A and B are shown apart, each in its own frame.
Chain A
Amino acid sequence: MRRYVLRRLAVGVLQALGITIAVFFVIRALPADPVSRIVGMNPTEDSIRQARHALGLDMSLFQQLLTFLGFHGDGVFTGSLGTSWVSGSTVLSEIAITLPTTIQLIVTSFIVALVVAIPIGMATARRPGGKLDKGVFGYGLFAGAQPEFWWGLIFIFVFYFKMGIAPAPLGLLDPELTAPKSVTNFVLIDSLIAGDFTAFKSALGHLVLPVLTLSFLLVGPLLKMTQQSMSRVLSSEFILYQQASGLEKKSIGRSTLRSALAPIITLTGILFGFMLSGAVLVESVFSLNGLGQYAVAAVLNLDFPAVQGVILVISVISLFVYLGLDLLLAKIDPRILVK
């Protein structure tokens, strides 16, 4: 197991670095010049030259890459992701603020989605063709055809504007509240650490609609996968043997679920990696200052250090998420490690 983990980590680090280097070159091939933001109107040749020098763009691509990686001072290998060309803050500090918002959103959404999808998927697999199965079929078609931002706006209109039971879509906390002292940058955790239950309730309340929006979309594919995986396992010989042997339904259910979990876990990992930046539309609709919003702004503003930093961070997180899920899979099905 240890060798497996170390091997995966080593390969993953190389993968993350490879992706970041690829993005490094791709973004510099874009037909747009980031220098204009600094030089402003009617710049002289001298001011353009100074700006290009300030951004390090007068060096060769290879030298820029070495600088980014940390061969000429601070860089990736020394834990620095550079300074944003837009805000002047370090990219790491900005990601440290935006990433926790996205993590809170998608982790909570996945928990809700899995809690809903797995039991319903199991139930529909046991009774195919039933009312629940038909309802799920319709839901799967319906939910899969809608963009998430549209649902977000609908939920805001219904629950906030018309019914007044949800808080305003103005971020993670009420504007009147003072944010708790940043320890982890996770507002939910920081408010508990500070004993600020008003902020905790406010943050939890503000997460309800975005989580509902995301989980509404996530439940569809997870439910479908659970249903199909469970159906496949339920028709397998060892389950039929258990049923013929008169084992309790609960025990059969546990065996079935354990065998059916692998594809569900794999799908969860894929969706999680996608959601790290794919939640940007939900973040925009609910004014959440998350990683997706930061990434989009960085691309639109040609903020090269921010784009590179975001890609690297997402790659590293995905690496650990996939590794964690693979270890979970190996725990459930020890044959995986042997293979």
Chain B
Amino acid sequence: MKKIDDYTVQITQEKENKLFLPALTIFGMGMFDKEGMEAQKTAKDPWSHDYANTVNVPSFGPYCLSKWTKGSEFVLTANPKYYGGKPAVSKIVLRKVPQSANRLAAIRTGAAQLTERLTPKEFASLKAVKGVSVGSVVGNESLFLNMNFKVAPWDNIKVRQAVAYAINYDKLIKNAYYGQAKKWKSLVPSTYPGYSVPKTQYTYDPAKAKALLAASGYKDDGSLKLTYVAEKESTLGPVVTQIKADLKAIGLDVQLDPLPQTQFGDRQLTKRDLPFAVNDQEKPIGVDAGYATYLFFITGGLNNMDNYSNKVVDDTYKAIATEADATKRNAGLAVIQEELAKDVAWVPVVEFATQWAYSSKLSGITWHPDNCVRFFDLKI
């Protein structure tokens, strides 16, 4: 890395890597204000990480944090020194409102101008309300079932295939998502470069699911659990209820196992011992199918929650990691996605819409891979 001038750096790679430029767009790569950060360093916190995580972030964004009541709200005011000019909205109050019904009421009455994370039913109810708009984008949010390759019976390919054929996808999209979703056909977001539809697809076929389960040799003893994040009961409740019913219909009687977020994360990310879970919170923030592969499916990958390992996937990824030709790279990614589908690395269920409900007077909402609104873009 070489400094060219005060505003330019030059980065030279050993080999061209198509992930490099998408990686630079990841929101987590914020620029800190060196002087501001150094002013906060202490012996215990020499890089001011704790300060940045818990007090404020010296940086160059369009807003300054003027008040932060943790767990409740924070207030942003326009940064008068922002290089991009003054934002149209000079003050933003972000307040935590735990009940989605209250968020819905607030947006309907105009007490709030923007809200998110309503249930699909609530978003659907707003479509006919005057003065309220609903913005909807199928970006990178998806729901899948993950089955741990190190825990029986999920290490049995026939059991995994049986589960994949047992899910009534259309019914789930209609009843749990009110149509605000579509069947997910691969294991990377369909909007990402490098996405391809594998030939191996799983459709709703309970007869085939039963046959596969019988052929697997697994005898259900009622001990299987389907784990999900407890705090998401309002959105995942209808989903897991239907999945439970679908699995029971083929002879798998799973118990629903809501787990608090912290424990879910511990089991999934750190210990990696969750046997069978529903997950709707994984989104590869690097906009690239290769990034998603590297994150979730390479042996020992950063978020390889299922302990999945496939030599073809690993070797193919290694070969295309520094492939400069986009056509060859995409062909390699297609091979990887086909392997993931054949192995049922996950059961891809749906890609669902990221949605916001907002006052009709508000404009400027655009989708970004972190699914967060950019306040600077807003006008009211």
Q: Which residues of A contact B (CB under 8 A)?
A: 32-37, 39-43, 48, 87-89, 94, 97-98, 153, 156-157, 160-161, 164, 167-171, 175-176, 179, 284-287, 289, 293-294, 297, 300-302
Contacts and interface: CB of A to CB of B under 8 A. Distances in A.
A167 B304 CA distance: 47
A33 B264 CA distance: 11
A42 B301 contact: yes
28 contacts: A33-B271, A36-B271, A37-B266, A41-B302, A42-B303, A87-B54, A87-B71, A88-B50, A89-B54, A97-B69, A153-B101, A156-B105, A168-B105, A168-B111, A169-B99, A169-B105, A171-B73, A171-B95, A175-B95, A175-B111, A175-B112, A284-B99, A285-B102, A286-B102, A289-B72, A300-B261, A300-B262, A301-B261
Contacts of A48: 270
A40 B266 CA distance: 8
Contacts of B262: 32, 34, 36-37, 300-302
A171 B203 CA distance: 46
B102 A156 contact: yes
Nearest to B106: A168
B269 A168 contact: no
Contacts of B71: 87, 94, 98, 289, 293-294, 297
A54 B89 CA distance: 41
A88 B109 contact: no
Given A89-B70, A171-B73, A36 B96 contact: no
Contacts of B220: none
A164 B110 CA distance: 12
A97 B50 CA distance: 21
A89 B53 CA distance: 11
B263 interface: yes
A36 B261 CA distance: 11
Nearest to A94: B70
B148 to A, nearest CB: 15
Contact of B300 (A42, A89, A161, A168): A42
A289 B69 contact: yes
B286 to A, nearest CB: 14
Contacts of B95: 170-171, 175, 287
Contact of A36 (B55, B102, B270, B304): B270
Given A42-B301, A161-B108, A168-B111, A300 B97 contact: no
Given A33-B266, A169-B102, A287 B261 contact: no
A250 to B, nearest CB: 47
Minimum-distance CB pairs A-B, first 10: A88-B54, A36-B266, A168-B111, A289-B72, A36-B270, A300-B260, A175-B93, A87-B70, A32-B263, A287-B97
B99 A287 contact: yes
B317 to A, nearest CB: 16
Contact of B105 (A42, A161, A297, A301): A161
Interface in B299-324: 300-304
Contacts of A33: 266, 270-271
Nearest to A168: B111
A66 B265 CA distance: 30
Contact of A170 (B53, B101, B108, B112): B112
B98 interface: yes
A27 to B, nearest CB: 13
Contacts of A293: 71, 98
B205 interface: no
Nearest to A43: B270
Contacts of B270: 33, 35-36, 39-41, 43, 48
A169 B260 CA distance: 25
Given A36-B270, A40-B269, A168 B93 contact: no
Given A36-B262, A289-B96, 8 more contacts: A33-B270, A35-B270, A42-B301, A156-B101, A169-B102, A287-B97, A300-B260, A301-B262
Contacts of B98: 284-285, 287, 293
Nearest to A301: B262
Nearest to B305: A41
Nearest to B91: A176
A232 B72 CA distance: 48
Contacts of A297: 71
Contacts of B269: 36, 40-42
Interface in B219-255: 231
A43 B102 CA distance: 39
A287 B69 contact: no
A56 to B, nearest CB: 14
Interface in B105-156: 105-106, 108-109, 111-112
A41 B111 contact: no
A161 B109 contact: yes
B99 A42 contact: no
B302 A42 contact: yes
Contacts of A294: 71
Contacts of A87: 54, 70-71
Contact of B109 (A36, A164, A285): A164
A83 to B, nearest CB: 9
B75 to A, nearest CB: 8
Contacts of A37: 262, 265-266
A170 B109 CA distance: 12
Nearest to A87: B70
B122 to A, nearest CB: 13
Contacts of B69: 97, 289
A94 B72 CA distance: 11
A293 B96 CA distance: 12
A171 B263 CA distance: 28
Nearest to A149: B99
A156 B99 CA distance: 12
With most chain B CB atoms within 10 A of its CB, the pick from A40, A287, A301 is A287
A157 B102 CA distance: 9
Contacts of A167: 111
Nearest to B44: A54
Contacts of A43: 270
Nearest to B303: A41
A284 B269 CA distance: 29
